[in-house]
Structure formats: structure tokens, C-alpha cells
A and B are shown apart, each in its own frame.
Chain A
Amino acid sequence: MTAPPQPSYVLTCGDAALTAALRRWLDGSRLVWPGTLQLDVEVVDTLAPHTDSREAFPQADLLIQAGPPDGTVRIRWDAPQAEAVVHATEPRATIRMTREASAQLESAERGFLLVTLLFMLRRIGWYHIHCAAMIDPRGRGWLFVGHSLSGKSTTSALLAGQGWSVSTDDIAFLSDDGVTVGVEGFWSPIALREGGRTLLGTTGGIEFPRRAKAGFRPEELGGHWIARVTPEIILFPSIGAATSVSPIGPRAAIKRLIESSLWVLFETVHAQEHLDLLARVATQSRAFEATLGPDLFLDPNLFQDLVQ
């Protein structure tokens, strides 16, 4: 059995338990980015007030500051308290977490730490996009791009059961291999809410009580995991009464891609490269608005028939 690929990073942290947990999280992502990230982590009792007067952009339970004068990105998590400062141009961050924050790593990994990581990865040319990424049995790469509750995870699980290879059901990064633009999936179990599990008739999985979800490896569902997908087909899904697809042009597609890759608008560092990658994805792929209906569960290969 081949060991999963390992990401490259240098992690300094005085807390042995937190170090082990962060290594598990980073190694578990199976992301193999170019270069090496540097994370300097400190556990503190309280965070000193900061003097950063830049406009704070709220994102879920985080506040993010970026831009001039120094180009750093400051990510703050206020309840519990943690703070990260990402270097202006280099893939390194200084992270300070209160003991309370370090005790809530499951939440941190989905929010504070993930956002810190994606700003670090911007500095090496990987750009976050909120999507599911898969390869069908004919070898074609698919992206399902959309917000939460648009059916990405349930569809990923359904298609894994049809032998599709799944890279991610939620978190991905655009990257350029010199020929095409691909999507690198952050490995984590396909996370299904109760409704999705009922539709699929699946039981078991790893419970994620805080998220009210259960996670399944693609292999548990009949599929495979794959690190990278080169998109040829992009679907922008929503839930509806019956499954259908409708082709859209590159202009409509890139608007939807920008909405799912919003950090392209947030800071000037690499914004042009990020935008160019989105445009190339829109150009190299055929794009469709898709409605996902209950009939998909009777005929999971419907997509392949609708998108010839």
C-alpha cells in the first residue's frame, strides 16, 4: 500500500499536543504544494490588543484585514481567541492561539486555520475555490461549483458509489501545472448531512457532531480518492424537482467561478494570476447550470447522458 503524499512545511510550536494535532491536520490534507510553508505557532493565555487599523472584513466567525501599508494578512478569531499574521509575500505565518482556541481544533481546522492556510498557499500560486472535484469513469474531470447546500457533497458521495474518483467535496485549490489549470483537493471525508445519508441509504461514517454531519471516505462508497482533477466540465448546481443541465458561456461561467473563489477580490498579491487561472478554467471547460433532482438517485449516470 502506498503512503499518501505528504505536504512540505516547517512547524514550530512549543505545545507538543498542539504540534501533533496540527501535523495530523496538515498531513491529512494530502496536499503537495510547491515549496515549503513556515508556521510559527504559540499558545498564549490571552491575546494582546492589536493596533491594526485596516478595514476588517467579516467572514463567518473571523475578521480579516489585508492590504497596505505592509501587505500582511491578519486573521482574527474572536470566540475563542486566536490570531494569525500571514507574511506579505512569503508562505509563512505567525499564529497565536489561546488555550481555549487550541482546545477547539475541529472548529479551527474548518475556519481559522483553513483561512490562514489558504492565504499562505496564495503566496505559492495555489488559489482556493469552493467546489467538489471528481473524475468520471471515462476519465473526464468535473467540478461542481457552488455554495453550501447546493448538493456538492451528496452528489460526490452518489458518484463515488458509481466508481468516480473524488478529489474533494468542498475545499480545493486552483494550480497551474504548466499546461492546464487543475484543481488540488484538500482531503477530508465526504461530509453528509442526515438528509443526504437518507437519500443515499448510507449508514455509519465518522461522526462530526459539531457540524451535524457524518464523513465517508470515497473508498467506503465504492469510489477512489485522487489528488488532482483537470476540469473539462463545470457544473453550477442547485437543488430542484428534476435533474437537468443547461449550457452557459465562459462569461457567465467566470462570474460564478469568481463568486466561489472570492479571495481573488480581497488582496492584490497574486490577484492577476488568480484571475488568469479562473479565466483559463472557464476557457478549457464546458460549463453548465445544473439542477439536481431526486431522479438522480434513481439514475446516477444521468449527468453523463445529459453532458455528452
Chain B
Amino acid sequence: MKGQFHRHTDLRLTELAGEGVVLHLGERRYFTVNETGLTILNALAEPRTFDELVAAVLKEFEVEPELASRTTTDFLQQCIDANVVRVVDA
């Protein structure tokens, strides 16, 4: 995936029992994410490239690079669809 990924500024998140609890203040809704999602959203405290996000996942979990890449792609796509993350062309 190309470009820089930005976390929505209306997002607030906290860790709870290894998972993430996320508030979307702009849309007044909340949801939970698993620990991989929490790792990615935490990494997005500042804008990141896809490769940087995959590196964050690999640093946190003992998984093959291919799985980390696929998981990151899937999660980012869900976040983009849900207006949680936006992508800015580099």
C-alpha cells in the first residue's frame, strides 16, 4: 500500500486487557480492536508508511513478514473504510 497513513485526529484509544478500546469523537462511536490493531493504531500516533507499520507489527509479534504484511493491509483497509485512518499520497 502506498502513501502515508494518518490516524483520524478525533480518535482516542486506550489499552485494556491486551486489546484496544477506540473512541471516534467526531462520529460519537466506539469500538474495540485486537492487539495487532492496537499496535498499528499506536504506531499511527504520527503519520507512517505501510512499511513502517509492518515493521511495528514485526517488532511486537513473532510472525513471518508475509503474515505481518497481510494483516497490516487488511487492518488498514478496514480503518480506511471506517474513516479511522486516511491515506495521503506521498
Contact = CB atoms under 8 A, between A and B. Distances in A.
B24 to A, nearest CB: 8
A279 B12 CA distance: 12
16 contacts: A249-B17, A250-B17, A254-B16, A254-B21, A258-B21, A258-B23, A265-B25, A265-B28, A265-B29, A265-B30, A266-B25, A266-B28, A267-B25, A271-B23, A275-B21, A275-B23
Nearest to A267: B25
Interface of A: 249-251, 254-255, 258, 264-268, 271-272, 275-276, 279, 282-283
Contacts of B23: 258, 264-265, 271, 275
Contacts of B32: 251, 255
B15 interface: yes
Contact size range, B: 10 to 19
A63 to B, nearest CB: 15
B51 interface: no
A258 B16 CA distance: 13
Contact of A271 (B12, B15, B21, B29): B12
B60 interface: no
Given A255-B30, A266-B28, A267-B25, A283 B12 contact: no
Contact of B25 (A268, A276, A279, A282): A268
- State the main secondary structure of chain A at its contact with B: helix
A250 B13 CA distance: 15
Contacts of A279: 14-16, 21
Contacts of A272: 12, 14
A250 B29 contact: no
A283 B17 contact: yes
Contacts of B10: 268
A251 B29 contact: no
Nearest to A271: B12
Given A272-B12, A275-B13, A279-B14, 10 more contacts: A249-B17, A251-B17, A254-B21, A255-B30, A258-B21, A264-B23, A268-B10, A275-B21, A276-B14, A279-B15
B19 interface: yes
Nearest to B13: A275
Nearest to A249: B17
Nearest to A259: B30
A264 to B, nearest CB: 7
Nearest to B27: A265
Contacts of A250: 16-17
Contacts of B12: 271-272, 275
Nearest to B21: A254
A56 B29 CA distance: 17
Contacts of B14: 272, 275-276, 279
Nearest to A277: B14
B14 to A, nearest CB: 5
Nearest to A258: B30
Contacts of B17: 249-251, 283
